[in-house]
Amino acid sequence: PEDMDTPRSVFKIDQNTPGSEVAAETAAALAAASLVFRRSDRTYSKLLARRAISVFEFADKHRGAYSTGLKKYVCPFYCS
């Protein structure tokens, strides 16, 4: 990373440019983190679990590939 010479662009997914796989992976990470914190911080664990459900519902409701909605920005890197 210290020698990285390419831009670190940020893109978002939403109803108009869905990214089901990105949202579902994010939901999985949030759900896993909620398990990690279950014993040490129950409030935070519950927050993570609620967010995981919310993000997963978004992924399920707004289906579409990340590479389709953001094709002009992310291809050819994420188009396979």
Per-residue pLDDT of the chain (80 residues; tens, 9 = 90+): 578 787 788 889 999 999 999 999 999 999 999 999 999 999 999 999 999 999 999 999 999 988 888 888 878 777 76
Full-model pTM: 0.82
Which amino acid, 65?
A
From the list 16, 19, 24, the residue with the least C-alpha distance to 78 is: 19
Write the DSSP symbol of residue 76: T
Cβ neighbours, 10 Å, residue 37: 16
